[in-house]
Amino acid sequence: MEQGSAFTLAFTAFLSVFREGAEVVLFYQPMLSEGNPGMVWAGFGVGCVLLVFVYLAITRLSIKLPIKVFFTATSILMAVMCVSFLGSGIKELAEGNVFDLALRVPGVPENDVIQIFGIYPWLETLLPQLILAIILLVTFLIAHYRGKMDALKAQLAKQ
């Protein structure tokens, strides 16, 4: 963008939309082929209705979204999802006989609620999740303090 390349911007936008479309196909195809088309269409319908309500709330009620809070919340949600997907992905690889889960961690409960977050009582899943969580936490802290430092510099520059 610094060089003014409209093609680069258009191509990046195309790849983003194309990737999202491919993900939708990859997620919905197994559900449709397993005989759950009703659930797919129900989810689609609920999503459309919710989008209409959100649209009406924002446009008719003049609800202003606090951008900083919104992006902070979505960033935290994405970080939690990354850790969850990492644990679930490693567990799926083990179930696909790519490798074995051999080191069970005592004291980590195993129930459906915890497994929703991709947390399993195996060292092979927990260690990479812990490493990723630490990286994400450090990244958030750096961004937070960098923002505070930039605000402080701007305040000092005004004086």
CA distances from 89 to 60, 68, 96, 101, 126 (A): 42, 31, 10, 13, 12
pLDDT tens, position by position, 131-153: 999 999 999 999 889 988 988 88
CA–CA gap between residue 28 and residue 77 (Å, rounded): 22
What is the average pLDDT across 34-63? 84
pTM above 0.75, yes or no: no
Q: What is the phi-psi region of residue 15: left when phi exceeds 0, alpha when psi lies from -120 to 50, beta otherwise?
A: alpha
Angstrom distance (rounded) from CA 106 to CA 95: 20
Least confident of 5-14, 46-55, 59-68: 59-68
Percent of the chain with pLDDT over 70: 97
Taking each helix axis from N to C terminus, what angle separates 37-60 and 6-33, rounded to the nearest 10 degrees?
A: 140
Query: Which amino acid does the sequence have at 68?
Result: K
Inform me whether the pLDDT recorded for 1 exceeds 60: no
